[in-house]
Amino acid sequence: MKKILYLVSSLKKSGPTNQLSYIIKYLDKDKFLPMILTLSPEPEDSMIEYFKDNLDVKIDSLRLSRVQGILKGVSKVKDYISNNSIDLVHTQGIRADGLIKSIDILKVTTLRNYPYYDYPSKFGKLKGSLMVWNHMNTIKSNQNNCIACAKSISDEFKRNDLNLSYIQNGVDTEKFKPLDKENIIELKNKLNISYDKKVFITVGSLIPRKDVETVIKGFQRYNNDDSILLIAGAGFEKEKLISISNDNIIFLGNISNVVEYLQISDCFISASLAEGLPNTVLEAMACGLPTILSDIPSHKELYEKEEGYFFQVKDYEKLSELLKTIDLDKQKDISLKLINKNFSAKSMSEKYQDLYMEKLNESI
């Protein structure tokens, strides 16, 4: 049995942490023993208990601050690898990727964003640009071990003369699945959502890259009193977004039961300016939701040759038209077909396992 160490900054509740949980959940335990090493103390919104209780994974933490990570991180990780006889390390995230690059060990690095799009938007121009420079240098020095989480992300890296393989994100269809009519009625009652209302939903951080403002403007232009818009997520744009909203728009904040809100919704909207391969859209589709999406490459990648409903970024007028014309029944069938064919978490995990074995066999 080969020991696989998953090296991450923390197990904070997020898309990348969800994807990590899927890889481990469907790991062949006869071939691989998973272990997790985190670099930082866990935040309040950690998934660590899920990994311990549901996935039965050994988890250790170095509990390093950012400065300590710079000064001691490499030596600490080296010692851990040696003391635990690790066969291969799988990293995700700028800190873990940077620490592992100089350590002589079989490795796999999953890239879940294109740094030029993500970091400046999330961390500001100055800090974000420094992070881009840092992460891109790491990727260039380690490119043979880097795997993009989407074909569209792999294509973006070609701008930097980097030809990276990709394994598309997956979604856990055991958790995210559609409900029948009777259960939807019961769940709507529980969540205090009127059964007579058509429910649109968007999920994600309230930051400029997610462009929730365009979702709000498109929904208000749609102007249908029999519909509501649910907005799940938190971020520094919240007060601004509330100020331009009306009574048919409900801000849920950060919620732990997002699957329930997806299951009682009729349609999912994303106006994002950039994404990896978005977990929230995959989760919505797995729940049988039709989607209306901005026409960025990572959204279009989900639909292959199937018909999708797309609008140009920032074009809230086109979004409002699509809200009126979308064929909900047809798109529900397409969503479920695509998830089952291309984006199951089990299939994604199996592709990583094949990659692990390929690297392990090459080292013999």
Per the CB < 8 A criterion, the answer to whether 343 and 171 are in contact is yes
Predicted confidence pLDDT, tens digits, the chain (364 residues) = 999 999 999 999 988 999 999 999 999 999 999 999 999 999 998 999 999 999 999 999 999 988 888 889 999 999 999 999 999 999 999 999 999 999 999 999 999 999 998 898 788 889 999 999 999 999 999 999 999 999 999 999 999 999 999 999 999 999 999 999 999 999 999 999 998 899 999 999 999 999 999 999 999 999 999 999 999 999 999 999 999 999 999 999 999 899 999 999 999 999 999 898 999 999 999 999 999 999 999 999 999 888 899 999 999 999 999 999 999 999 999 999 999 999 999 999 999 999 999 999 987 7
Q: Where along the chain do the CATH 3.40.50.2000 domains lie?
A: 2-170+345-362, 181-342
Q: Does domain 181-342 match CATH 3.40.50.2000? A: yes
Per the CB < 8 A criterion, the answer to whether 5 and 35 are in contact is yes
Handedness of CA 338, 340, 341, 346 (dihedral sign): positive
124-140 residue pLDDT tens: 889 999 999 999 999 99
Cα angle, residue 186 at apex, residues 181 and 189 outer, rounded to 5° = 125
From CA 162, how far away is CA 252, in angstroms rounded? 40
From CA 113, how far away is CA 364, in angstroms rounded? 32
CATH number attached to the domain at 2-170+345-362: 3.40.50.2000
Q: Which helix (H) or strand (E) holds 68?
A: helix 66-83
Task: Read off the pTM.
Answer: 0.90
